Amino acid sequence: MAMRMGVSGFCCLLFLFLFSLENVHGNPNYREALAKSLLFFQGQRSGRLPKDQQVTWRSNSGLSDGLIAHVDLTGGYYDAGDNVKFNFPMAFTTTMLSWSTLEYGKKMGPQLGNARAAIRWATDYLLKCATATPGKLYVGVGDPNVDHKCWERPEDMDTVRAVYSVSASNPGSDVAGETAAALAAASMVFRKVDPKYAGLLLRTAKKVMQFAMQYRGAYSDSLGPAVCPFYCSYSGYKDELLWGAAWLFRATNDVTYYKMLKSVGDDGGTDLFSWDNKFAGAHVLLARRALLTKDKNFEPFRQEAEDFMCRILPNSPFTTTQYTQGGLMFKMPQSNLQYVTSISFLLTTYAKYMKATEHNFNCGNMVVNPGLLINLAKRQVDYILGVNPIKMSYMVGFGPNFPKRIHHRGSSLPSLASHPQSLGCDGGFQPFFYSANPNPNILVGAIVGGPNQNDGFPDDRSDYSHSEPATYINAAFIGPLAYFAGGYSG
Protein backbone atom coordinates (compact mmCIF):
# COMPACT_ATOMS: atom_id res chain seq x y z
CA MET A 1 0.00 0.00 0.00
CA ALA A 2 1.26 3.43 -0.83
CA MET A 3 1.57 6.15 1.70
CA ARG A 4 0.43 9.57 0.63
CA MET A 5 2.95 12.34 1.02
CA GLY A 6 2.37 15.76 2.50
CA VAL A 7 4.36 18.66 3.90
CA SER A 8 6.56 17.77 6.82
CA GLY A 9 6.29 19.87 9.93
CA PHE A 10 8.77 22.35 11.22
CA CYS A 11 11.01 21.35 14.02
CA CYS A 12 12.47 23.23 16.92
CA LEU A 13 16.23 23.26 16.84
CA LEU A 14 16.59 20.25 19.07
CA PHE A 15 18.76 17.16 19.19
CA LEU A 16 22.12 18.81 18.91
CA PHE A 17 23.25 15.71 20.75
CA LEU A 18 22.92 13.78 17.51
CA PHE A 19 26.20 15.24 16.45
CA SER A 20 28.27 14.39 19.47
CA LEU A 21 29.69 10.94 19.02
CA GLU A 22 29.50 10.04 22.71
CA ASN A 23 25.71 10.13 22.47
CA VAL A 24 25.46 7.86 19.45
CA HIS A 25 25.26 4.62 21.40
CA GLY A 26 25.45 1.10 20.11
CA ASN A 27 27.14 -0.60 17.23
CA PRO A 28 24.77 -3.11 15.70
CA ASN A 29 26.19 -5.84 13.47
CA TYR A 30 25.88 -4.06 10.12
CA ARG A 31 27.16 -7.05 8.12
CA GLU A 32 24.43 -9.27 9.53
CA ALA A 33 21.85 -6.54 8.87
CA LEU A 34 23.08 -6.17 5.28
CA ALA A 35 22.82 -9.92 4.62
CA LYS A 36 19.30 -10.05 6.09
CA SER A 37 18.16 -6.91 4.29
CA LEU A 38 19.08 -8.52 0.96
CA LEU A 39 17.55 -11.88 1.92
CA PHE A 40 14.21 -10.09 2.37
CA PHE A 41 13.94 -9.63 -1.41
CA GLN A 42 13.72 -13.41 -1.86
CA GLY A 43 10.59 -13.37 0.30
CA GLN A 44 9.00 -10.85 -2.11
CA ARG A 45 9.69 -12.79 -5.30
CA SER A 46 6.91 -13.49 -7.75
CA GLY A 47 7.19 -16.14 -10.46
CA ARG A 48 9.01 -19.47 -10.58
CA LEU A 49 11.51 -19.61 -7.73
CA PRO A 50 15.09 -20.73 -8.43
CA LYS A 51 16.79 -23.79 -6.93
CA ASP A 52 18.93 -21.61 -4.65
CA GLN A 53 15.89 -19.92 -3.05
CA GLN A 54 16.69 -19.53 0.65
CA VAL A 55 13.30 -18.29 1.88
CA THR A 56 11.82 -21.77 1.69
CA TRP A 57 8.34 -21.05 3.03
CA ARG A 58 7.65 -19.23 -0.24
CA SER A 59 6.74 -21.19 -3.40
CA ASN A 60 6.02 -20.42 -7.06
CA SER A 61 3.30 -17.81 -7.64
CA GLY A 62 1.85 -15.63 -10.39
CA LEU A 63 2.87 -18.13 -13.08
CA SER A 64 0.09 -16.98 -15.42
CA ASP A 65 0.87 -13.25 -15.03
CA GLY A 66 0.45 -11.55 -18.41
CA LEU A 67 -1.66 -14.36 -19.87
CA ILE A 68 -4.73 -12.14 -20.03
CA ALA A 69 -2.79 -9.86 -22.45
CA HIS A 70 -1.05 -12.77 -24.25
CA VAL A 71 2.39 -11.82 -22.92
CA ASP A 72 4.76 -13.28 -20.34
CA LEU A 73 4.88 -10.98 -17.31
CA THR A 74 6.02 -13.55 -14.75
CA GLY A 75 8.64 -12.59 -12.19
CA GLY A 76 9.41 -9.34 -10.41
CA TYR A 77 8.47 -8.47 -6.84
CA TYR A 78 5.36 -7.96 -4.77
CA ASP A 79 5.83 -4.42 -3.47
CA ALA A 80 4.83 -4.90 0.15
CA GLY A 81 2.44 -7.14 2.08
CA ASP A 82 0.04 -7.66 -0.82
CA ASN A 83 0.10 -9.74 -4.01
CA VAL A 84 0.17 -6.94 -6.59
CA LYS A 85 3.10 -6.03 -8.82
CA PHE A 86 3.25 -2.24 -9.02
CA ASN A 87 6.04 -1.28 -11.41
CA PHE A 88 6.41 2.33 -10.24
CA PRO A 89 7.73 1.46 -6.76
CA MET A 90 9.37 -1.71 -8.12
CA ALA A 91 11.43 0.29 -10.61
CA PHE A 92 12.45 2.75 -7.86
CA THR A 93 13.45 -0.23 -5.70
CA THR A 94 15.60 -1.46 -8.60
CA THR A 95 17.23 1.94 -9.11
CA MET A 96 18.08 2.20 -5.41
CA LEU A 97 19.45 -1.35 -5.24
CA SER A 98 21.59 -0.53 -8.27
CA TRP A 99 22.80 2.81 -6.90
CA SER A 100 23.64 1.11 -3.59
CA THR A 101 25.68 -1.50 -5.45
CA LEU A 102 27.46 1.08 -7.61
CA GLU A 103 28.45 3.22 -4.63
CA TYR A 104 29.04 0.55 -2.00
CA GLY A 105 29.62 -2.73 -3.86
CA LYS A 106 33.26 -2.87 -2.74
CA LYS A 107 32.09 -2.79 0.88
CA MET A 108 29.50 -5.55 0.45
CA GLY A 109 31.98 -8.42 0.58
CA PRO A 110 30.18 -11.75 0.12
CA GLN A 111 26.83 -9.94 -0.24
CA LEU A 112 27.72 -8.38 -3.60
CA GLY A 113 26.45 -11.45 -5.48
CA ASN A 114 23.18 -11.35 -3.52
CA ALA A 115 22.76 -7.65 -4.33
CA ARG A 116 23.22 -8.39 -8.04
CA ALA A 117 20.73 -11.28 -7.81
CA ALA A 118 18.15 -8.99 -6.15
CA ILE A 119 18.60 -6.44 -8.95
CA ARG A 120 18.44 -9.03 -11.71
CA TRP A 121 15.19 -10.53 -10.40
CA ALA A 122 13.64 -7.10 -10.96
CA THR A 123 15.38 -6.18 -14.24
CA ASP A 124 14.48 -9.51 -15.91
CA TYR A 125 10.84 -8.60 -15.25
CA LEU A 126 11.19 -4.92 -16.21
CA LEU A 127 12.80 -5.97 -19.52
CA LYS A 128 9.74 -8.12 -20.28
CA CYS A 129 7.47 -5.18 -19.44
CA ALA A 130 9.40 -2.88 -21.79
CA THR A 131 9.84 -5.24 -24.75
CA ALA A 132 6.82 -7.61 -24.84
CA THR A 133 4.64 -5.37 -27.03
CA PRO A 134 6.03 -2.58 -29.28
CA GLY A 135 4.70 0.83 -28.25
CA LYS A 136 3.56 -0.36 -24.83
CA LEU A 137 5.17 -0.40 -21.41
CA TYR A 138 3.48 -2.80 -19.00
CA VAL A 139 3.37 -1.22 -15.56
CA GLY A 140 1.48 -3.55 -13.27
CA VAL A 141 -0.12 -6.94 -12.73
CA GLY A 142 -3.05 -7.58 -10.38
CA ASP A 143 -6.08 -5.40 -9.62
CA PRO A 144 -5.17 -3.72 -6.32
CA ASN A 145 -8.77 -2.98 -5.40
CA VAL A 146 -9.68 -6.66 -5.65
CA ASP A 147 -6.42 -7.91 -4.14
CA HIS A 148 -6.70 -5.69 -1.08
CA LYS A 149 -10.06 -7.28 -0.21
CA CYS A 150 -8.32 -10.66 0.10
CA TRP A 151 -5.95 -12.14 2.63
CA GLU A 152 -4.39 -15.06 0.80
CA ARG A 153 -0.94 -16.43 0.04
CA PRO A 154 0.59 -15.40 -3.30
CA GLU A 155 0.75 -19.14 -4.07
CA ASP A 156 -3.07 -19.35 -3.82
CA MET A 157 -4.02 -16.25 -5.79
CA ASP A 158 -7.43 -16.71 -7.37
CA THR A 159 -8.16 -13.08 -8.19
CA VAL A 160 -8.04 -11.80 -11.78
CA ARG A 161 -4.44 -10.89 -12.68
CA ALA A 162 -5.38 -7.76 -14.61
CA VAL A 163 -2.56 -6.24 -16.68
CA TYR A 164 -1.94 -2.49 -16.91
CA SER A 165 0.12 -0.60 -19.46
CA VAL A 166 0.97 2.88 -20.70
CA SER A 167 1.32 3.89 -24.36
CA ALA A 168 1.33 6.90 -26.68
CA SER A 169 -2.41 7.38 -26.14
CA ASN A 170 -2.25 6.55 -22.41
CA PRO A 171 1.05 8.12 -21.34
CA GLY A 172 3.01 7.46 -18.16
CA SER A 173 6.13 9.62 -18.15
CA ASP A 174 6.69 9.01 -14.43
CA VAL A 175 6.64 5.20 -14.51
CA ALA A 176 8.54 5.17 -17.83
CA GLY A 177 11.18 7.62 -16.53
CA GLU A 178 11.67 5.52 -13.40
CA THR A 179 11.86 2.31 -15.45
CA ALA A 180 14.51 3.91 -17.67
CA ALA A 181 16.43 4.99 -14.55
CA ALA A 182 16.29 1.45 -13.16
CA LEU A 183 17.50 -0.18 -16.38
CA ALA A 184 20.27 2.41 -16.88
CA ALA A 185 21.52 2.15 -13.29
CA ALA A 186 21.42 -1.66 -13.42
CA SER A 187 23.32 -1.68 -16.74
CA MET A 188 26.29 -0.18 -14.88
CA VAL A 189 26.10 -2.86 -12.18
CA PHE A 190 26.40 -5.64 -14.80
CA ARG A 191 28.82 -3.89 -17.16
CA LYS A 192 31.89 -5.87 -16.08
CA VAL A 193 30.31 -9.14 -14.92
CA ASP A 194 27.80 -9.62 -17.79
CA PRO A 195 28.47 -7.11 -20.61
CA LYS A 196 25.86 -8.64 -22.92
CA TYR A 197 23.09 -8.27 -20.32
CA ALA A 198 24.32 -4.75 -19.48
CA GLY A 199 24.06 -3.81 -23.16
CA LEU A 200 20.47 -5.06 -23.35
CA LEU A 201 19.55 -3.10 -20.21
CA LEU A 202 21.05 0.11 -21.56
CA ARG A 203 19.50 -0.18 -25.03
CA THR A 204 16.10 -0.78 -23.45
CA ALA A 205 16.58 2.11 -21.01
CA LYS A 206 17.21 4.49 -23.92
CA LYS A 207 14.02 3.41 -25.72
CA VAL A 208 11.90 3.68 -22.58
CA MET A 209 13.34 7.13 -21.82
CA GLN A 210 12.56 8.29 -25.34
CA PHE A 211 8.96 7.10 -24.84
CA ALA A 212 8.76 8.92 -21.47
CA MET A 213 9.92 12.18 -23.06
CA GLN A 214 7.89 11.93 -26.26
CA TYR A 215 4.50 11.11 -24.73
CA ARG A 216 4.11 13.34 -21.70
CA GLY A 217 1.59 12.59 -19.00
CA ALA A 218 1.15 11.16 -15.52
CA TYR A 219 0.39 7.46 -15.31
CA SER A 220 -2.09 8.18 -12.50
CA ASP A 221 -4.20 10.11 -15.03
CA SER A 222 -4.03 7.24 -17.52
CA LEU A 223 -4.69 4.38 -15.09
CA GLY A 224 -6.74 5.98 -12.31
CA PRO A 225 -7.97 3.49 -9.69
CA ALA A 226 -5.52 0.81 -10.84
CA VAL A 227 -2.72 2.82 -9.23
CA CYS A 228 -4.46 5.45 -7.07
CA PRO A 229 -4.46 5.91 -4.16
CA PHE A 230 -1.86 3.12 -3.81
CA TYR A 231 1.01 4.50 -5.88
CA CYS A 232 -0.38 7.68 -7.34
CA SER A 233 2.27 9.98 -8.80
CA TYR A 234 1.62 12.83 -6.39
CA SER A 235 4.76 14.79 -7.29
CA GLY A 236 4.03 14.74 -11.04
CA TYR A 237 6.40 13.31 -13.64
CA LYS A 238 9.06 16.02 -14.01
CA ASP A 239 11.17 14.47 -11.23
CA GLU A 240 11.19 11.07 -12.99
CA LEU A 241 12.21 12.67 -16.30
CA LEU A 242 15.07 14.45 -14.52
CA TRP A 243 16.01 11.25 -12.66
CA GLY A 244 15.85 9.06 -15.77
CA ALA A 245 17.94 11.51 -17.82
CA ALA A 246 20.44 11.81 -14.94
CA TRP A 247 20.90 8.04 -14.79
CA LEU A 248 21.25 7.71 -18.56
CA PHE A 249 23.81 10.51 -18.49
CA ARG A 250 25.80 8.71 -15.78
CA ALA A 251 25.54 5.41 -17.70
CA THR A 252 26.50 6.81 -21.14
CA ASN A 253 28.27 10.16 -20.60
CA ASP A 254 26.32 11.19 -23.70
CA VAL A 255 25.67 14.93 -23.85
CA THR A 256 22.20 14.17 -25.30
CA TYR A 257 21.07 13.26 -21.79
CA TYR A 258 22.61 16.36 -20.26
CA LYS A 259 20.60 18.43 -22.76
CA MET A 260 17.54 16.34 -21.93
CA LEU A 261 17.76 16.94 -18.20
CA LYS A 262 18.30 20.67 -18.80
CA SER A 263 15.24 20.75 -21.05
CA VAL A 264 13.10 19.05 -18.41
CA GLY A 265 13.91 21.76 -15.87
CA ASP A 266 13.82 21.40 -12.12
CA ASP A 267 11.21 22.08 -9.47
CA GLY A 268 13.92 22.55 -6.93
CA GLY A 269 13.65 22.34 -3.19
CA THR A 270 12.27 19.45 -1.22
CA ASP A 271 12.89 17.74 2.11
CA LEU A 272 11.73 14.29 0.97
CA PHE A 273 13.09 11.47 -1.17
CA SER A 274 10.89 8.50 -2.01
CA TRP A 275 9.37 6.22 -4.66
CA ASP A 276 7.25 9.22 -5.64
CA ASN A 277 9.54 12.26 -5.34
CA LYS A 278 13.00 11.85 -6.94
CA PHE A 279 14.22 15.46 -7.03
CA ALA A 280 16.60 15.13 -4.05
CA GLY A 281 18.05 11.89 -5.42
CA ALA A 282 18.60 13.42 -8.85
CA HIS A 283 20.30 16.45 -7.26
CA VAL A 284 22.73 14.29 -5.28
CA LEU A 285 23.43 12.08 -8.30
CA LEU A 286 24.17 15.12 -10.50
CA ALA A 287 26.08 16.95 -7.73
CA ARG A 288 28.52 14.02 -7.82
CA ARG A 289 29.76 15.38 -11.12
CA ALA A 290 30.19 18.91 -9.77
CA LEU A 291 32.30 17.57 -6.89
CA LEU A 292 34.25 14.70 -8.47
CA THR A 293 35.01 16.20 -11.88
CA LYS A 294 34.70 19.91 -10.97
CA ASP A 295 32.26 20.34 -13.87
CA LYS A 296 30.82 23.85 -13.44
CA ASN A 297 27.70 22.95 -15.42
CA PHE A 298 26.57 20.85 -12.46
CA GLU A 299 27.03 23.50 -9.77
CA PRO A 300 23.27 24.26 -9.58
CA PHE A 301 22.63 20.61 -8.69
CA ARG A 302 25.32 20.73 -6.00
CA GLN A 303 23.58 23.77 -4.53
CA GLU A 304 20.20 21.96 -4.60
CA ALA A 305 21.72 18.87 -2.95
CA GLU A 306 23.19 21.01 -0.18
CA ASP A 307 19.95 22.95 0.29
CA PHE A 308 18.28 19.55 0.79
CA MET A 309 20.84 18.57 3.46
CA CYS A 310 20.22 21.90 5.22
CA ARG A 311 16.51 21.02 5.40
CA ILE A 312 17.34 17.64 6.98
CA LEU A 313 20.07 18.44 9.52
CA PRO A 314 18.39 18.98 12.90
CA ASN A 315 20.53 21.93 14.03
CA SER A 316 20.56 23.71 10.67
CA PRO A 317 18.91 27.15 10.60
CA PHE A 318 16.94 25.94 7.55
CA THR A 319 15.72 22.61 8.93
CA THR A 320 12.17 21.53 8.08
CA THR A 321 12.57 18.06 9.55
CA GLN A 322 11.05 16.80 12.78
CA TYR A 323 12.80 14.28 15.00
CA THR A 324 11.25 12.06 17.66
CA GLN A 325 12.46 12.28 21.22
CA GLY A 326 14.50 9.13 20.55
CA GLY A 327 16.23 10.82 17.60
CA LEU A 328 14.40 9.31 14.62
CA MET A 329 13.72 11.48 11.59
CA PHE A 330 9.95 11.79 11.38
CA LYS A 331 8.54 12.76 7.99
CA MET A 332 5.12 11.10 7.76
CA PRO A 333 2.79 9.23 10.10
CA GLN A 334 2.49 6.40 7.53
CA SER A 335 5.41 4.18 6.61
CA ASN A 336 7.86 6.76 7.93
CA LEU A 337 10.89 4.48 7.68
CA GLN A 338 10.75 4.62 3.87
CA TYR A 339 11.82 8.28 4.13
CA VAL A 340 14.37 7.56 6.84
CA THR A 341 16.15 4.88 4.80
CA SER A 342 16.12 6.83 1.53
CA ILE A 343 17.30 10.08 3.16
CA SER A 344 19.98 8.16 5.09
CA PHE A 345 21.20 6.84 1.74
CA LEU A 346 21.55 10.40 0.41
CA LEU A 347 23.36 11.48 3.60
CA THR A 348 26.05 8.78 3.40
CA THR A 349 26.40 9.09 -0.37
CA TYR A 350 26.78 12.86 -0.41
CA ALA A 351 29.20 12.59 2.52
CA LYS A 352 31.19 10.09 0.46
CA TYR A 353 31.48 12.57 -2.42
CA MET A 354 32.43 15.34 0.03
CA LYS A 355 35.15 13.20 1.62
CA ALA A 356 36.62 12.30 -1.76
CA THR A 357 37.04 15.99 -2.60
CA GLU A 358 37.63 17.43 0.90
CA HIS A 359 34.50 19.53 0.45
CA ASN A 360 32.47 21.26 3.19
CA PHE A 361 29.41 23.49 2.81
CA ASN A 362 27.40 25.92 4.91
CA CYS A 363 23.82 26.01 6.14
CA GLY A 364 23.73 29.71 6.99
CA ASN A 365 26.56 30.19 9.47
CA MET A 366 26.80 26.45 10.26
CA VAL A 367 29.67 24.61 8.60
CA VAL A 368 28.73 21.11 7.44
CA ASN A 369 31.48 18.54 7.05
CA PRO A 370 31.02 14.92 5.93
CA GLY A 371 31.12 13.71 9.53
CA LEU A 372 27.91 15.56 10.39
CA LEU A 373 26.01 13.80 7.60
CA ILE A 374 27.52 10.41 8.47
CA ASN A 375 26.72 10.74 12.19
CA LEU A 376 23.10 11.60 11.43
CA ALA A 377 22.81 8.66 9.01
CA LYS A 378 24.40 6.33 11.58
CA ARG A 379 21.94 7.47 14.23
CA GLN A 380 19.04 6.63 11.89
CA VAL A 381 20.48 3.25 10.89
CA ASP A 382 21.19 2.34 14.52
CA TYR A 383 17.71 3.41 15.59
CA ILE A 384 16.15 1.12 12.96
CA LEU A 385 18.36 -1.74 14.17
CA GLY A 386 17.25 -1.42 17.80
CA VAL A 387 19.16 1.51 19.36
CA ASN A 388 15.97 3.33 20.37
CA PRO A 389 13.86 4.01 23.47
CA ILE A 390 11.93 0.71 23.28
CA LYS A 391 14.93 -1.35 22.08
CA MET A 392 12.85 -2.61 19.14
CA SER A 393 14.64 -3.59 15.94
CA TYR A 394 12.44 -2.60 13.00
CA MET A 395 14.16 -5.23 10.85
CA VAL A 396 12.40 -8.56 11.19
CA GLY A 397 14.70 -11.33 12.42
CA PHE A 398 17.43 -8.93 13.54
CA GLY A 399 18.22 -8.63 17.24
CA PRO A 400 16.33 -10.09 20.20
CA ASN A 401 13.23 -7.89 19.84
CA PHE A 402 11.59 -7.30 16.44
CA PRO A 403 8.06 -7.04 14.92
CA LYS A 404 6.28 -10.41 15.11
CA ARG A 405 2.92 -9.53 13.56
CA ILE A 406 3.82 -7.80 10.33
CA HIS A 407 1.16 -6.88 7.77
CA HIS A 408 2.23 -9.38 5.12
CA ARG A 409 0.10 -12.11 3.63
CA GLY A 410 2.76 -14.77 3.01
CA SER A 411 4.39 -14.25 6.41
CA SER A 412 1.11 -14.28 8.35
CA LEU A 413 -0.34 -17.40 6.70
CA PRO A 414 0.92 -20.98 7.02
CA SER A 415 3.18 -22.12 4.17
CA LEU A 416 2.08 -24.62 1.52
CA ALA A 417 4.28 -27.23 3.18
CA SER A 418 2.43 -26.94 6.49
CA HIS A 419 -1.05 -26.26 5.02
CA PRO A 420 -1.30 -27.68 1.48
CA GLN A 421 -5.02 -26.82 1.08
CA SER A 422 -5.76 -23.57 -0.76
CA LEU A 423 -6.93 -20.75 1.51
CA GLY A 424 -8.79 -18.68 -1.11
CA CYS A 425 -9.47 -14.94 -1.14
CA ASP A 426 -11.20 -14.77 2.26
CA GLY A 427 -9.52 -17.83 3.73
CA GLY A 428 -6.76 -16.00 5.53
CA PHE A 429 -8.76 -13.54 7.64
CA GLN A 430 -9.96 -16.11 10.18
CA PRO A 431 -8.08 -17.41 12.07
CA PHE A 432 -4.85 -15.86 10.79
CA PHE A 433 -5.18 -12.11 10.07
CA TYR A 434 -7.27 -11.43 13.18
CA SER A 435 -5.09 -13.59 15.42
CA ALA A 436 -2.92 -12.10 18.15
CA ASN A 437 -0.35 -14.86 17.53
CA PRO A 438 2.98 -14.05 15.90
CA ASN A 439 3.26 -14.72 12.16
CA PRO A 440 4.14 -18.36 11.44
CA ASN A 441 6.78 -17.43 8.85
CA ILE A 442 9.56 -14.98 9.67
CA LEU A 443 10.22 -12.65 6.72
CA VAL A 444 13.87 -12.18 7.66
CA GLY A 445 15.28 -8.75 6.85
CA ALA A 446 11.96 -7.00 6.21
CA ILE A 447 11.90 -3.41 7.50
CA VAL A 448 8.41 -2.34 8.55
CA GLY A 449 6.79 1.10 8.34
CA GLY A 450 8.17 1.87 11.79
CA PRO A 451 7.28 3.58 15.04
CA ASN A 452 4.96 6.50 15.64
CA GLN A 453 6.13 10.02 16.48
CA ASN A 454 6.33 9.09 20.18
CA ASP A 455 8.79 6.25 19.46
CA GLY A 456 6.02 3.72 20.14
CA PHE A 457 5.20 0.61 18.12
CA PRO A 458 2.04 -1.46 18.64
CA ASP A 459 3.18 -4.53 16.60
CA ASP A 460 -0.32 -4.96 15.22
CA ARG A 461 -0.90 -6.79 11.92
CA SER A 462 -3.93 -4.67 11.04
CA ASP A 463 -1.98 -1.41 11.50
CA TYR A 464 -0.42 -1.49 8.03
CA SER A 465 0.99 2.05 8.16
CA HIS A 466 3.41 0.92 10.89
CA SER A 467 3.65 -2.86 10.44
CA GLU A 468 3.86 -3.34 6.65
CA PRO A 469 7.26 -3.93 5.03
CA ALA A 470 8.03 -2.73 1.50
CA THR A 471 10.77 -3.34 -1.04
CA TYR A 472 11.60 0.36 -1.35
CA ILE A 473 12.20 0.70 2.41
CA ASN A 474 14.84 -2.04 2.22
CA ALA A 475 16.35 -1.03 -1.13
CA ALA A 476 17.44 2.38 0.16
CA PHE A 477 18.83 0.84 3.36
CA ILE A 478 21.34 -1.39 1.53
CA GLY A 479 23.75 1.49 0.81
CA PRO A 480 24.07 2.86 4.37
CA LEU A 481 24.32 -0.68 5.79
CA ALA A 482 27.13 -1.52 3.36
CA TYR A 483 28.84 1.77 4.18
CA PHE A 484 28.84 1.11 7.93
CA ALA A 485 29.61 -2.61 7.47
CA GLY A 486 32.67 -1.55 5.48
CA GLY A 487 33.96 0.70 8.25
CA TYR A 488 32.93 4.24 7.19
CA SER A 489 36.08 5.16 5.24
CA GLY A 490 35.98 6.51 1.69
160 contacts 147 by C-beta, under 8 angstroms: no
User: Does the active-site annotation cover 407?
Assistant: yes
CA distance 310 to 366: 9
The sign of the torsion formed by the CA atoms of 115, 46, 423, 57 equals negative
R_g (Cα) of the chain, nearest Å: 21
Annotated catalytic, 194?
Answer: no
Q: Which residues lie closer than 8 Å to 366 by C-beta, 6 or more apart?
A: 313, 315, 316, 317
CB 433, CB 406: distance < 8 Å: no
Q: Which residues of 241-267 are buried (b: 16+ CB within 10 A; e: fewer)?
A: bbbbbbbbbbbbeeeebbebbeebebe
Q: What are phi and psi of 364, to 5 degrees?
A: 60, -125
From the list 82, 239, 304, 455, the catalytic residue is 82
Q: Which residues of 280-297 are buried (b: 16+ CB within 10 A; e: fewer)?
A: bbbbbbbbbbbbeeeeee
**361-363 and 163-167 as β-strands: parallel, antiparallel, unpaired?**
unpaired
Number of other residues whose CB lies within 10 A of the CB of residue 380: 24
Sheet arrangement for strand 163-167: 85-86, 136-141, 163-167
- Positive or negative, the CA dihedral 262, 263, 268, 274 is negative
CB 471 within 8 A of CB 80: yes
Buried b (16+ CB within 10 A) or exposed e, 111-134: bbebbbebbbbbbebbbbbbbbee
The Cα 104–Cα 112 span in angstroms is 9
Per-position DSSP letters for 35-65, written without gaps between them: HHHHHHHHHTB-BSPPTT---TT---B-TTT
**Terminal Cα distance for the chain, rounded:** 37
- Sign for the CA dihedral angle at 241, 170, 120, 228 comes to positive
346, containing H or E segment: helix 337-357
**Which residue out of 124, 194, 459, 460 is catalytically annotated?**
459
Is residue 82 annotated as a catalytic residue, yes or no? Answer: yes
CA 59, CA 38: separation in Å to the nearest integer? 18
Q: Is 459 a residue of the active site?
A: yes
Per the residue annotation, which of 407, 408, 455, 466 is the catalytic one? 407
Catalytic center residues: 82, 407, 459, 468
